[in-house]
Amino acid sequence: MNTIKTFLFIVLISFNSPVEAKTTLPPNDFTSVTQQIETLLKASETTIYEDIVVAIKFKIDDNNKITVISNNSNSEGLTRFIKKRLNEKELYIDQDNNYRFYTISIQFLSTIY
């Protein structure tokens, strides 16, 4: 009986070790891209009259450069600002993610107090 318990204990430890060895998760590329986009869009140059959430659709080419495809803002000034700040800017991402399309929502806060 002790032999069976010992054997089961060894088997459980053997299966448990590989699971514990992988404790870190791979980085989430989408989070990284979102953080980089937010950094590029800081310090707005345009007047924003009320808080707005803008969905920005863009792609990343083989040189990791951003190309803004569209956004759902009704403000021409905000649309120009987004394109000026993002078009042709380089992101630092994994090379396997080239030619991927992204849509992210960014909240712009009112600049009028």
Angle at CA of residue 79, ends 74 and 82, nearest 5° = 140
Indicate the pTM of the whole model. 0.66
The predicted pLDDT at position 56 comes to 92
Domain residue spans of the chain: 27-108
The predicted pLDDT at position 22 comes to 41
Burial grade of 44 (CB within 10 A; 0-12, 13-18, 19 or more):
middle
The predicted pLDDT at position 20 comes to 43
At 33, list the tokens. Answer: 């891209």
The predicted pLDDT at position 73 comes to 87
What is the mean pLDDT, run by run of 10 residues, along the chain of 113 residues?
63 50 48 83 79 90 89 89 92 68 86 76
The predicted pLDDT at position 14 comes to 55
Residue 41: which of 112, 102, 105, 101 has the closest Cα?
105
